[in-house]
Each structure stands twice: as structure tokens, then as C-alpha cells.
Chains A and B, each alone.
Chain A
Amino acid sequence: MTQVPNDLKYTQNHEWVRLEGDGQVTIGVTDHAQESLGDLVFVEPPEAGAIVRAEEACAVVESVKAASDVYTPVSGEVVEINETLADSPELINTDPYGEGWIMRIQLADASELDTLLDAAAYQELIADEG
């Protein structure tokens, strides 16, 4: 069963966002996304320190089927990236909401969070997609 944890926010593009409470958010791709992508073979994260704008493609995940962009739903500075994904991209398959996180961003504009979906809305979105 596809997991959609209640404590996270989501995007139309199948990223999840966790509010860390200190003005930072952690971003990854959802369980549904990793299921549709299949086995991940490569992850290209942004550079730590990069300034990103909301809706911008800032990482690439590549699976045996396809390469897909990961969009940041919020603007800000990339403060940390998940270095372990370089050697173990499969963490996104095995633990998409935990060890498979992709990047942490220092928010520039907290109001951008208002556009995100809650778990129920995201659940509905992926149910529509089947």
C-alpha cells in the first residue's frame, strides 16, 4: 500500500516537504513517485549553498525507466543535501520519507508553504492518477 504520512506536505509533482520548525524544510520524493519510477540508479542533487526558486527543477532522479526532475516547491537556500544518495540511490526506493530525503532548504518566504497539499489532498491526487 502506498504510504502518505499525515505529518508531511505534498506537491502536484510528487515531492514531499517536512517542516523542520526552524525555518527549514526537508524535501524528497513520495512513495508513489518512487513506485512509478522503479529502481533508482542515480540522483543528482543541487549544490549545497545554491539559491533556488519555487517551481524550479533543482535535482534529477534517474531510474531504470526514466530520468525525472525534482522541483522545489519553495524558494530559499539549499543548506544541506543527502550525500549518501550518491552511493545509495536505492534509499529513495526503500525509505522515501526517511533516509531517502534529498535536500534541506532554508525558507526565503514561508507563505509559499500555503500552496502545498496536505496528506488527504495528495492521497486524492494519486487516487485520481490510479
Chain B
Amino acid sequence: MLIYDISRPGRRAFAQAPYREPSADSLPRRFRRQSPPRLPQVSELEVVRHYTRLSQKNFSIDTHFYPLGSCTMKYNPRGANQLAMLPQFLGRHPLAPDTHGQGVLACLYELQQELAVVTGMDEVALSVMAGAQGELAGVAMIRAYHEARGDTARTEILVPDAAHGTNPATATMCGYKVREIPTGADGDVDMAALDTALGPQTAGIMLTNPSTVGVFERRIQEIAARVHEAGGLLYYDGANLNAILGKARPGDMGFDVIHLNLHKTFSTPHGGGGPGAGAVGVNQRLLPYLPLPRVGQEKGDRYRWLTEADCPESIGRLGTFGGNIGILLRAYAYLRMLGRDGMVRVADYSTLSANYLMKRLQAEGFTVAYPERRASHEFIVSLKKEAKELGVNAMDFAKRLLDLGYHAPTTYFPLLIPEALLIEPTETESKRELDGFVEAMVRIRKEAEEDPDAVKGAPYRLPVRRLDDVRAARDLDLRWEEHS
């Protein structure tokens, strides 16, 4: 229900009302509206109840364990939130001159520097608004690099079949043909297939490491050497950086360009579509093409926004002003609270949680996708056996988990594992919470053995029952219309 649905003519809330009647006399008459805006007409108590109820319906990291694989749904520390909400940050106008924003620019500059150090890249730009936009910026830079050298024969981007769907989409958006590289039986990239695919037409490869099947790509340096030898560049998708934060650096692995999901690894709030921050980092080779604006440091610890005049070869701007600065400040506070030692603990505990959960589920008889491999910060359970023997599939388990108070893991991804649940517990969950999740999985399987239809009917305890995915996809209804 939307707040417009409870609107009744004449109802008002006074808490936000102006103290005195504002005057519009200074506006030219032709710019003044003739009719009042269509705002909901509700009392103060109705507003409070409406939004409180909505928040109670929300399944979020603040209310539930949220092991959504590849999304790193970890606790967003309130301290970072508090610091980013200081009035000196909030009150800053985006058009204010740099001299009036030295504090915020200093924070952003330090964030650029720290991210470069922890990823092993030379420079970082923060103004990219989201992960997918970070990918776009990254591949656009690869393109700019080849074009600047007059190397226009490079028309292909290689993408492993386990990649996030955004990777091939990004390559296509940048005008490249996507060539898929299969994953070997051990979860690593199939090297023979890579060799066959590489050639003078290769612009680059997009990789996530640890990969989306939840294992560390062991031959990454060999891959980097071969791609570079063929004249291509390596793009690192930062989706899974949480597993290696402070432990291993994409720059050392041989990557030329990376994007970081600050809203995942650096724990700014996310979900529900944003706002995110997809900072990009590059080595010297791609430095001229970094998107704008970036913060530069000048003599005497003065900071300023770098513009097209400073960086004429930049791929340009991907958003307004300096990006999602509120999010960047939260990431900065998080990073400073952790320090470099703390970042190592993020990697330690996120992989420990994942491996503990994987071993416990295995011990309970669930099938994991790569049992011989150590999990990174996430792992895959395949419910193929349960689907075949009990007729209860990954989606049914996922829906029933919601009933039991656990957000579902990522379902049916990566596509190459049948009936996949991609599970990422993160470092911020306690052992007790992880044990509770195992119990819930075991309970659902027991329910499925006794009465599969009961599980297939889940969820029962949420504000809505099983949604009609097909109708939702085919019969899009996204716009509110007033009932007459």
C-alpha cells in the first residue's frame, strides 16, 4: 500500500509545516503553479504508522541473516553512518567552491589513496555511481587505451561462463563481442579454452577472483601473462573482494583495471537499488583515461577536483557532481575504523564463516559444488539431488527459508551449477546465527521428505505469499495510478 492510498482530502500533518505562510510574490507569475501539488493528505500519526509498517515488512540486514551470495550483505556499522552524517558534511553544497570543502575533499583523497594501496593499483576514481557503472567505466578505459594506440582490430572481450551477467552486458555496451570461456571441473578457468580464444582480436578479459563459483582462481598470474602476451588487458570485477581484502591484491595478480563495490566490501548500506559506489582503480597504463571528477592534491595539503583540463584523455563523467559522496564517506569511515589490520580480519572471518557453514552443511548431507576446494567467502550448495528425489527445488528451499527468518541465498546462479544456492555469510555473523541457518536447511529437507507440497507452498508467514514470477516479468506494473 502506498501512502497515496490512505490520503483523504483535508488531512494534514503539522510537524513539517512552515512556521509562517511562505510567499511566492518574488516569482514571476508565469512560473507559479495554478493548482496545488498532488501530495498525499494524511495526518502525522498516519505517516508514522505507514512508514513504521513498511519498515517492519522489510527483510534486511538490520533484521535478518542475509547470506545472499556475491552481494556481501554485512552489517553496516552505525559509527560510519554517524560520521558521514556530521552537519559539516551534510550542509555542504555541491556547487560550493573547492576552498569551502577542503574537509570532504581530504577524506575523498585519502579514500582514493587507501583503496589504491589495498588493491595494488596506481590511482582510483570514486565518482562512479554503482558496480555496473564501474564495469562500464573499466571496459570503456580498455577501449580508450586500444583506440589511443590505433589498435582497432581488438573486437572481443573474454568472459568466463561463471561471470556475473553484468560482465557480458558491459562488454556489449562498450561495443565488444563477448566470447565465453568455460570453467574447468575444478572451478578454475579452462586454460586450453583460454589459449584457443586469445588472439589479436582480444581486447581484454573480465574476471572475478575469487570467482563466482566461490573459489580462488589459482592460475591467475598465468592467465594474466597469457592475456598480456596476446595484447589484451585484464579487468577485475570487485564483487568478491571481501574474501581477499588486505590479503592479496588484484594489482599484484596482474590486473590492469578494477572496480570496487564500496557498498559490498566497504559496508555501506545497499539493497533495493542503491545508492551504490563503484570506485575504479587502474595501473599506469590506463591512468589517463580514469573517469572524472577525481580529487587531486596540491602543495600545502590543498585539495581540488580534477577536471577535463587536467585529464584531457579521460573517458568523461558518469554522473553529476562528485558521485554518491554520502556513501563514499561511509566507506571512508569504515576503512579508517578497520585500519589495515582490520581489513585482514575481514578476509579471515568472511572465509572462516563460509568454510564453517560449508563443512556443516556437507556434514548434514547437502551437496556442495566443489567439495575438494576450499571456499572463499562464499560457496555453492547444489540441490539437484533434493529436486530429483523429493521434487523440492532451490526456489522452494529459498522461499521456505524466508518463513524461518533467513533471507534466501542467491538462487540459480551461477547458471552452470544446477539448482544452485550461492551462500555468502560474511564476517559479521556469529557462529550461533550460522548454526541456526544449518538447522533451518535441515528442517526444510525433513519437511520436504514428509510433505513436499507444504514446502512448495511456502512462504506462509510473510506479508505476501508465493509470487507469480512469470506474471511479474510479462505483465510489468510499475506505475502508481490514482483510483478514480
Binding site for B on A (CB under 8 A): 36, 38-39, 41-42, 62, 64-67, 89-90, 129-130
Q: How far is the CA of A129 from the CA of B415 in the complex (A)?
A: 13
Binding site for A on B (CB under 8 A): 165, 384, 411-412, 415, 418, 469-470, 473-474
Question: Would A64 and B473 count as touching, CB distance under 8 A?
Answer: yes
Residues of A within 8 A of B470 (CB): 39, 41, 64, 90
Question: Would A130 and B418 count as touching, CB distance under 8 A?
Answer: yes
Residues of A within 8 A of B474 (CB): 41-42, 89
Residues of A within 8 A of B411 (CB): 65
Q: Which of B165, B412, B469 contacts A39 (CB 8 A)?
A: B469
Residues of B within 8 A of A36 (CB): 418
Report B393 CB to chain A, min CB distance, Å: 9
10 additional A-B pairs beyond A36-B418, A64-B469, A66-B415, beta carbons within 8 Å, are: A38-B412, A39-B469, A41-B469, A42-B474, A65-B411, A66-B412, A67-B165, A90-B470, A129-B418, A130-B418
Chain A interface, >50% SS class: loop
Report B273 CB to chain A, min CB distance, Å: 20
Question: Would B415 and A42 count as touching, CB distance under 8 A?
Answer: no
User: Closest chain B residue to A87 by CB distance?
Assistant: B474
Report A64 CB to chain B, min CB distance, Å: 4
Residues of B within 8 A of A66 (CB): 412, 415
Question: Would B473 and A42 count as touching, CB distance under 8 A?
Answer: yes
Report B267 CB to chain A, min CB distance, Å: 29
Question: Would B412 and A65 count as touching, CB distance under 8 A?
Answer: yes
Residues of B within 8 A of A42 (CB): 473-474
Report A42 CB to chain B, min CB distance, Å: 7
User: Closest chain B residue to A41 by CB distance?
Assistant: B473
Residues of B within 8 A of A130 (CB): 384, 418
Residues of B within 8 A of A65 (CB): 411-412, 415
User: Closest chain A residue to B180 by CB distance?
Assistant: A69
Residues of A within 8 A of B412 (CB): 38, 65-66
Listed residue (A62, A67, A129, A130) with the most chain B CB atoms within 10 angstroms of its CB: A130
Residues of A within 8 A of B473 (CB): 41-42, 62, 64
User: Closest chain B residue to A57 by CB distance?
Assistant: B178
Report A126 CB to chain B, min CB distance, Å: 11
Q: How far is the CA of A83 from the CA of B474 in the complex (A)?
A: 17
Listed residue (A42, A62, A64, A129) with the most chain B CB atoms within 10 angstroms of its CB: A64
